[in-house]
Amino acid sequence: MKELASKVLKGDTRSVARLITLVENNSRNAANAMKIIHKHTGNAHVVGVTGVMGSGKSTLIYELARGYRKQGKTVGIVGIDPTSPFTGGALLGDRIRMQELACDSGVFIRSMGTRGALGGLTGAIFDVIEILDASGKDVVLVETVGVGQGEVDVVKMADTTLVVLVPGLGDSIQAIKAGIMEIADVFVVNKADRPGVDRAVAELESMLDLKHVEGERRTPVVKTVARKGEGVSELIQKIDNHMNYLKEQNLLELRRRKRYEAELVEIIRRELMSYIFDEKRLKGKIDDLVDRISMKKMDPYTGAEEVLERMLR
């Protein structure tokens, strides 16, 4: 694993892909490589992109990546497969549009399933971010679908969180409901070629007015037409500004701590789960408990306590 890790650190694309696969499969070897690369992380600007389904997140990410490439920066892109059945799962949107980036060695694109994540982001996402970071990517763009818990989780891993809204559909109201006001570092009103964009921006601005405190940073709102790349350089500027703000105010370390905490908890959770559900060791025990629970000789809480006590002893 030392060799794989050192190749990852050199930015070797195939090794990056291989380590990500190992991580997704929760392999022991992956853990060993991860231990080696951690020291070399922390240089990438991790940008989370969240928002309602179909708002243009993937298109926007593609355009952002192009913009960063023009600045000579390298980019990692991670998409989380939607948990929702409604999207039909076309993960990074228009795959053909991605083709150009896929051929660029300065860009690494990976999509991941939410498999086993129990309502949140897949646990391996933290590892993937670390891997791309360690491999030397300057910017890591992470797309998450804004459903339920997912959009809140994005905050735990990103330095900068973009919330993408579209005109109409009462998005601004949805935004408050989902607590999205709190998580956005930059608001993007995409599909600005559609009617109602000025109203959407005005509504958003007036909500921001309400929560704005004199002297504090105000969340910027950027209008984009992702499909045409319009507004993207301004967006990159706002993203850069946010990173500068984090650094100046000594907030970057705080954000990173949040990510590491979430990552640590995730690893512990994963290890515990595989320990608890170790087929060979526990299968019989679980069957036995389920028998007793079905026969009303035991309740599920007592059953769970028995398993945990046994484990922690």
Ligand X SMILES: Nc1nc2c(ncn2[C@@H]2O[C@H](COP(=O)(O)OP(=O)(O)OP(=O)(O)O)[C@@H](O)[C@H]2O)c(=O)[nH]1
Q: Which residue, among 246, 240, 275, has the nearest Cα to 259 in the 3D structure?
A: 246
Within 39-170, where are the H helices?
57-70, 95-102, 124-134, 150-157
* Minimum separation from the CB atom of position 95 to Mg ion (A): 10
* Minimum separation from the CB atom of position 266 to ligand X (A): 23
Residue with Cβ nearer ligand X (27 or 87): 87
Give residues 164-223 in contact with ligand X (rule: CB under 6 A).
Answer: 190-191, 193-194
Q: Which of Mg ion, ligand X, none is residue 55 near (CB under 5 to 8 Å by kind)?
A: ligand X
* Minimum separation from the CB atom of position 191 to Mg ion (A): 14
Is residue 58 a contact residue for Mg ion (CB under 5 A)?
yes
For residues 95 and 64, the answer to whether their CB atoms sit within 8 Å is no
Residue with Cβ nearer ligand X (12 or 193): 193
Question: Residue from 76, 93, 150, 220 that binds ligand X (CB under 6 A)?
Answer: 93
* Minimum separation from the CB atom of position 166 to ligand X (A): 8
Total length of the chain: 313
* Minimum separation from the CB atom of position 96 to ligand X (A): 11
Cα 223 from Cα 187, distance rounded (Å): 9
At 48 the three-state DSSP class reads strand
Is residue 284 a contact residue for ligand X (CB under 6 A)?
no
What own/partner pairs with CB < 8 Å and gap ≥ 24 does 119-123 have?
119/83, 119/148, 119/149, 120/149, 120/150, 120/153, 121/80, 121/150, 121/153, 121/154, 121/157, 122/24, 122/80, 123/266, 123/267, 123/269, 123/270
Question: Residue from 22, 23, 56, 112 that binds ligand X (CB under 6 A)?
Answer: 56
Tell me the backbone φ, ψ of residue 79, rounded to 5 degrees: -115, 140
Binding mask 76-95 for Mg ion (x = CB under 5 A): -----------------x--
Query: Alpha-carbon dihedral of residues 251, 45, 12, 153, nearest 10 degrees?
Result: 80
Is residue 259 a contact residue for ligand X (CB under 6 A)?
no
Q: Which of ligand X, Mg ion, none is residue 59 near (CB under 5 to 8 Å by kind)?
A: ligand X
Half-sphere exposure (CA, 13 Å, Cβ side) for 167?
15
Is residue 59 a contact residue for ligand X (CB under 6 A)?
yes
- Going by DSSP bridges, is the β-strand pair 160-165/139-143 parallel, antiparallel, or unpaired? unpaired
Q: Which of ligand X, Mg ion, none is residue 137 near (CB under 5 to 8 Å by kind)?
A: none
* Minimum separation from the CB atom of position 78 to ligand X (A): 13
Is residue 225 a contact residue for ligand X (CB under 6 A)?
yes
Q: Which of Mg ion, ligand X, none is residue 53 near (CB under 5 to 8 Å by kind)?
A: ligand X
Contact residues: ligand X, CB under 6 A: 53-59, 87, 93, 145, 190-191, 193-194, 225-227
Contact residues: Mg ion, CB under 5 A: 57-58, 93
